[in-house]
Amino acid sequence: MNAIFTIVAKNYTGLAQVLESSVRKHSDAAFFIIVADEWDGAEELKKTLPVNVLTAKDVLNIPATEWEQMAFKYNLIEFCTAIKAASFLYLFTKGHDKILYFDPDIYVFNPLRVVFDQLNEASIVVTPHILNIQTPFKGNYEDYLFLLNGTFNLGFIGLKKSETTDKFLTWWHYRLVHHSFFDNDQGTATDQKWINLLPAIFADQQYHISRHRGMNAAPWNFHERKVSVENDIYYVQNREDDTATKEPLVFVHFSGYDYSQIGSGQVVHKNNQMTDYADLQSVFEKYGEALAGSDFKTYSGLKYSYNMYENGLGILSLHRRMYRRLLELNMAQEYPFSTGEGTYFAVLKKKGLLDYSPVSADMMTNKTVKNFGKKFAAIHLFFTIIKKLVGIRRYSIMIRFFRRYFTEENQAFLVNKEAGKTLR
C-alpha cells in the first residue's frame, strides 16, 4: 500500500509523467499526479489523461473560499507547496501506509526500497541540502542560502501513517494554508523552512534525517557527490574521498534547469555560475533521453489558471501581496479573481493599479530592462543628491525605513487607506 505523488501546474503534467516513468521502473508503488490548477481551455486534453492524474480542487479537502484565497495570495510555486500537506492527508484516506512526495523535476535511477525502508522505524524522512562542511565552501550555491531556504530540501519528503504523522500534518497543513510564502523578512521559504523545526518538536525516533548520498542529489550538492556507472547501474560517493563507499544513486533532483533544453541535448541552468561535472554527463543524458521521448511539449504551453483574473488580465505579484495584507487585516473582498462591480479587481482598476502591458511587470528584471546600466546610474545620482540634502544621519534612517516600507505587502494602502496604518 505504498504510494508516491507529485504536484504540478497543468503545464508540467508531461514532466510529472517523466518522473512517473522512472518510478515505475524501480517501484510498484501507486503513483499520482496532483494538478494544482484547473483545466480551463484544455478540457479535451484532460479527457485523454489517465486516472492517476487528479485535479487538486476536486479531491483535496480544502473549503472553496479558502482555496480561492490561497490560489490568489500565493504565486504558482507557493501554491503548489501550500497544498502538499493536504495531498498527503487525502492519500492517507485512500489506505496508503507509506507515501513519498517527489518534485516533478526528479528522476529515479535505482530501486526505491531503500527509501521506503527508512520509514519502517521513523514516521518522517527528510534529506538535508548538504552533508559535507567545507572551509571555504566549494558549492555552486553560497552556503548562507541554506539559512534562507532551510536545512532540508522538500523536493522530497516521506511519511508513514502514524499518530506522529497525524499530528505533523495537522500542524504543517495549517501553516501552509496561512504561511507558505517565500518571505525572507518573515523567515519563511514556502513549505520548506517549517521542517527546520522537526528536531525540536519531535523525538529522535519519530523522524529520520537521511544521509544517503543517493537520495536527492541536486545542484546544491553536486559539488560533494560524484557519480559513476557500472554495468548500467548508477552509483554515487563522496566527491572529496575516492576511497569512500559507493551507494546506489536513487534519485536526482534537476532543480533550476531548462527541461526543454535538456530534452534537446543541452544542459542549461538558471544559475550561470553552475559548474559542470564530467561525471554527471551520463545522468543528464539519461534524463534528456527520457524528456525527448515524453509528452512534455504537449502540456508545456498551457497557461496557469490562477495567473489571471476571470477576464484574462494578468495578476501582478503586487496584487497578490497587497491582497495578502488585506486578508491579514480582515479587509479583503471575497472572490478575488472576479472582475465585476465591488470586487478587488474593480478597486484596483479605480486606483489605476492594473497592468495592461503585453509583457507583465513581473517578467522584468535587471537583465531584461533596456539600458539598465544607465538607469541604475541615474538612481545612484538621485540618492546621492538626497544624501547631500538631508545629511548622512537622516539618510541612514531613511534607507533602513525604506527597506521595510518597500515590500509589496506594505503598499496595501494603495487599495485601502486603513491598511496603510500598519507597517510590518
- Predicted confidence at residue 273, as pLDDT, reads 59
- Predicted confidence at residue 225, as pLDDT, reads 97
Q: How confident is the model at residue 410 (pLDDT cuts 50, 70, 90)?
A: very high
**pTM assigned to the model:** 0.95
Q: Are 119 and 125 in contact (CB under 8 A)?
A: yes
Q: How many CB atoms lie within 10 A of CB 377?
A: 11
Grid coordinates of 282: 551520463
pLDDT in tens, 375-401: 999 999 999 999 999 999 999 999 999
Q: How confident is the model at residue 80 (pLDDT cuts 50, 70, 90)?
A: very high
pLDDT at 368 exceeding the cut of 90: no
Q: How confident is the model at residue 271 (pLDDT cuts 50, 70, 90)?
A: confident
Residue 74 is classified by DSSP as S
Grid coordinates of 305: 489558471
CA distances from residue 202 to 153, 253, 350, 379 in whole angstroms, order as listed: 18, 27, 50, 50
Query: Which percentage of the chain shows pLDDT scores above 90?
Result: 91
188, β-bridge pairs: 183
